[in-house]
Amino acid sequence: MDRLSENKIILVVRQTRLDELVAKYNTLAQAQFYVEHLGSDFSDYMNEDRRYKQSVTIAEEKLRDLGRIQILQRSFLPNFLFGKDDLVVVLGQDGLVANTLKYLDNQPVIGVNPDTGRWDGVLLPFCVNDLDKIVREVFAKGRKTSNVTMAKVELSDGQKLYAVNDLFIGAKTHVSARYRISLGDIEENHSSSGIIVSTGLGSTGWLKSVLAGATGIASALTKRDISVPDKEKFSWNAKYLYFSVREPFPSRTTSASIVFGKITEAIPMVLTSAMPENGVIFSDGIENDYLSFNSGIKATIRIADKSGHLVV
Instruction: Please say if the pLDDT value at position 180 is more than 60.
Output: yes
Contact 302, 193 (CB under 8 A): no
**Mind listing the pLDDT tens digit for each residue in 86-111?**
999 999 888 899 999 999 999 999 99
Backbone angles phi and psi of 71, in degrees to 5: -90, 130
Q: Which CATH class is domain 150-304?
A: mainly beta
Mean pLDDT of the chain: 92
Question: Is the confidence at residue 311, as pLDDT, over 80?
Answer: yes
For domain 8-143, the question of CATH label 3.40.50 is answered with yes
Note the pLDDT of residue 238. Answer: 93
pLDDT tens digit string along 280-304?
999 998 888 899 999 999 999 999 9
pLDDT tens digits for range 181-191: 999 999 999 99
74 has pLDDT over 80:
yes
Predicted confidence at residue 23, as pLDDT, reads: 95
8-143 and 150-304 in the same fold: no
Q: 3-state secondary structure string, 41-63?
A: CHHHHHHHHHHHHHHHHHHHHHH
Model confidence band, residue 233 (pLDDT cutoffs 50, 70, 90): low
Proportion of the chain above pLDDT 70, given as a percent: 96
Domain ranges in the chain?
8-143, 150-304
Q: What is the pLDDT of residue 120?
A: 82
Q: What is the pLDDT of residue 207?
A: 87
In the three-class reduction of DSSP (H, G, I as helix; E, B as strand; rest coil), residue 31 is classed as helix
pLDDT of residue 289: 85
pLDDT at 228: 67
**What is residue 298's three-state secondary structure?**
strand
Residue 257: how many CB atoms within 10 A of its CB? 11
Write out 174-237 in H/E/C secondary structure: CCCEEEEEEECCEEEEEEECCEEEECCCCCCCHHHHHHHHHHHHHHHHHCCCCCCCHHHCCCCC
pLDDT of 227 strictly over 80:
no
Q: Which of 121, 134, 115, 140 is nearest to 53 (CA)?
A: 115
The helix or strand, by DSSP H or E, that contains position 306, with its residue range, turns out to be strand 298-311
- Is residue 1's pLDDT more than 80? no
Sign of the Cα torsion 240, 241, 242, 248 reads negative
- Strands of 78-174 (E only): list them: 87-91, 108-112, 145-155, 160-163, 166-171
Instruction: Identify the pLDDT of residue 148.
Output: 95
What is d(CA 190, CA 179) in angstroms, rounded to the nearest whole number?
5
Residue 119 to residue 113: CA distance in whole angstroms:
7
